[in-house]
Chains A and B, each alone.
Chain A
C-alpha cells in the first residue's frame, strides 16, 4: 500500500494554523496566480493536500480524520484562503459533504464514504444551485421519483465547485413531499459533467454544470429521511459552508494586507514611500482592523459550533456577512494601492479582488444574509 509520505514526500501534516501557514506558503502561495490563469488546481497539489491531511481533519480519528475542532478548522481554512480562494473552495465543498455524511448518514453510508472522504481518496462536491435557482433553495427544479425500491434523478445543477474533479456529488432534489439530499457517485450512468470556464473569480475551483438524466439510484442514496430532516441536511451543510467561506474571506483580507504592506514599503511616489502617506496608512489600518474583527467573529462562530450551541447558525451568518463584505472592500482598496500594477498578473491583488466578489454571492448571497440577520433581530429585539 502506498503511504502518504510516498505520494508527496516532505509534506507535513497540517494540524493547526501554524502548520497550515507553512503548507500554504510552500505549496500554494507561489503558484496561486498560475492556478488562476490555468483555471484549475493541479493533481499534484490535491495529492499534497491528501498527504497533509487537509481534506476533512475534523472527522473522528477512526473515520480518516484527526478530530480537529472547528475553531482550528476555521484557522486552517483561513490560511488556505489567504493563499488561494480556489483551493479553499475545494476544501469548503468537500468539508460540507463529509460533515453531512458523518452527521446524517446511516451506518452503512458512513462506512462506505466517510473514511475515503476523510483521507481524500474520494473528493466531493455540493450540488444545490441550478440554472434557475441559487440562494433560493425553494426554486429547485431537479427531482427524484421512487422506482423499484430506489430513486430516479433528473435535473441540472450549475456553478458546482469542484464539479469537474469530484468523485461524489451530494445532490439536492425535489421529492414527492419535500427536498431530499442524495449521494450520487460521479460514474453513475446518466451523470454528465460540463466544465464552466472563464468565470470572474475562484477561477481554478473547477466549476461545472452537471446534468442528471434518468439517473438510477439505490435506496441507500438518500442521506437522512426526506421531509423534516431534509431541510436540516441542507441548513446544517450550508451553515458549515458559510463558516468556511467566512474564514476564507478573512484570508483574503489578510492576503490583501500583506500584499499592500509589502508594496507600500518599496513603492515611492513624489519621493515618498507609499507607506508614509496618510491616505495609504488609513487604508492599511482599516485592513488590519477589519481582519481582526472578522477573525474574532469567525472564531466565535466556531467556538459555538464546538460547543453545539444553536446560536452558532446566526453567528455564522453574521461572520460571513461581515467578513465577505470587508474582503470585497479591502481587495478593491488593495488594487487601488497598487495602481496600474494592481490590474496586472504581476501582483496577486487582481485575483484577490475577483475572488472577494464571489464571497459576497456564495453560500447565501449577502442580500439573503441581511434579510436573515434583520429578521432575527426583529424577532428578538424589536
Chain B
C-alpha cells in the first residue's frame, strides 16, 4: 500500500509543480510549495484517493512534509490495518 501511495502522492504534487524535482523524502514545506490552498488540495486528494478520513488529531504539519510521511499517514488510517 505505502509504496503505491507514495507514487500517487508524488504524482499529485508533481502535477501541481511540474517544474520541480521532488522525491519521496523531500520536505515540500521547506521547498516553499505549500500554501493554505495547496494544503487543502492535498488533504482532499488523500481522503478521496485512499478513501480515508483524516481526523483533526492527524492534521499535523509533520504528517504532510513529504510523500513518505503522507504515505505513512495513509497506512495508519487505512481500514485494512484495523
Contact = CB atoms under 8 A, between A and B. Distances in A.
Nearest to B29: A228
A380 B15 contact: yes
A104 B58 CA distance: 12
B82 interface: no
5 contacts: A225-B56, A227-B61, A236-B40, A310-B45, A379-B16
Nearest to A382: B19
B1 interface: no
B37 to A, nearest CB: 6
Contacts, number: 59
A313 interface: yes
Interface string B4-46: 0000000010011111000000000000000011011111110
Contacts of B17: 379
A308 B59 contact: no
B59 A235 contact: no
A232 B15 contact: no
Residues of B contacting A: mostly: helix
Interface string B58-69: 011100100000
Interface string A210-232: 00000000000000110111011
Contacts of B45: 310
Contact of A235 (B12, B18, B40): B40
A235 B37 contact: yes
Chain B interface size band reads 20 to 34
Contacts of B64: 228
Contacts of A229: 56, 59
A240 B43 CA distance: 16
Contacts of B61: 227-228
Interface string A234-253: 11100100000000000000
A38 interface: no
B39 A232 contact: yes
A232 B36 contact: yes
A258 to B, nearest CB: 36
A13 interface: no
A106 B39 contact: no
A372 interface: yes
